[in-house]
Amino acid sequence: MTIHEFIRSMPKVSLHCHLEGSVQARTVVDLAAKHGERLPPYREPEDLYTYPDILKFLEMYDIVAHVVRDEDDFRRITYETLREASEHNVRYREMFWSPMAHMEIGVPFAVAQAGILRGIGEAEGDFGIRCRLIADINRMQPPEKGLEMVEAVLANRCDELIGVGLDYAESGNPPEGFWKAFRAAKRAGLRLTAHACEEGPPRNVETCLDLLGCGRIDHGYHVVDDAAITARCAAQGVVFNTTPVSTAWVYFNNDMPRHPIRRMVEAGLRITVDCDDPPMFRTDPSRDFVAMTEMGFGARDLCAFVLNAVDACWMDTASKDSMRGEVRAELAGLLARLEGAPAGLSSG
């Protein structure tokens, strides 16, 4: 077994993947034609996913979101991304979606959610993959809009929607403005996370932990620029959901060996690995683990990152314990094949 075969076969738990960022380019073309929407010029559909910086990427992200209009569109894009995930042995995903991007063009929250739930149900029936949802606030919009989104979540409450997050461009949009939205979500029993310190200062991590009440952090790369905050996060076991391929492209000049993830792990921080917006950054649930090997991590490190994701996910305790046992046993078997000798995994 090669390391690439090992990675493809690893059972995976996905904690950082965006629904709208997972739409295949050919599906975008189909949906735009269906609804009579114009797209930017392209020769091949994949050309749509070409952008020079984060803001141009976010423009494309919104273009994609705006061609997803009716319940069946949402069913389709959900089913397609979960089908791809299952092909890489993703067993469970807590998937971000961006209600505000759809609400702003008049798509009712309930319509979008109904379609997504249909896609989740069909994918679980066909592929065995389980999925839950995290509704993300667009931090580039006013905080009142974020509170409106949380109110829509609560008015259309379903068991599959388990959390609220915060995303879009961090620079100039610090997390503290959204405390009311996060407070309302916490009162309702939803779990909380936020994109932080992807391009912003380390203090944004503390704001997300202390003011917003987040249970984990998405990205967090620049936390290592502050030794005290890094030490605090290591001591408290804060989990950072990292996405090496997309962020190397956006922020770190595609220099994988110098990606801050290496420093995060060396500082004792707990990380997970996921694929963010897979077709938009020419990646997939396995490619991001391959990227970790390009930073110098070995197979046993990759297993530890998967088990971190099991521990950090928001399943109920019994389901999490069951999944941890299954995943640990499968990883041990794969390691034995890779290393050519019986192998086990430590409990740490």
What is the set of active-site residues? 198
Q: Minimal CA–CA distance to 267: which of 208, 300, 225?
A: 225
Residue 7 CB contacts under 8 Å (≥ 6 apart), including other chains:
286, 289, 290, 293, 302
CB 197 within 8 A of CB 219: yes
- The pairing of strands 90-97 and 191-196 is unpaired
State in Å, rounded, how far the first CA of the chain is from the last one: 25
Residue 253 CB contacts under 8 Å (≥ 6 apart), including other chains:
none
Helices (H) and strands (E) in the chain, counts: 15, 8
Q: Minimal CA–CA distance to 60: which of 36, 75, 41?
A: 41
SS3 content of the chain, % helix, strand, coil (to 5): 55, 15, 30
CA distances from 92 to 77, 132, 178, 224, 320 (A): 17, 8, 28, 29, 10
Q: Minimal CA–CA distance to 130: which of 160, 100, 87, 107?
A: 160
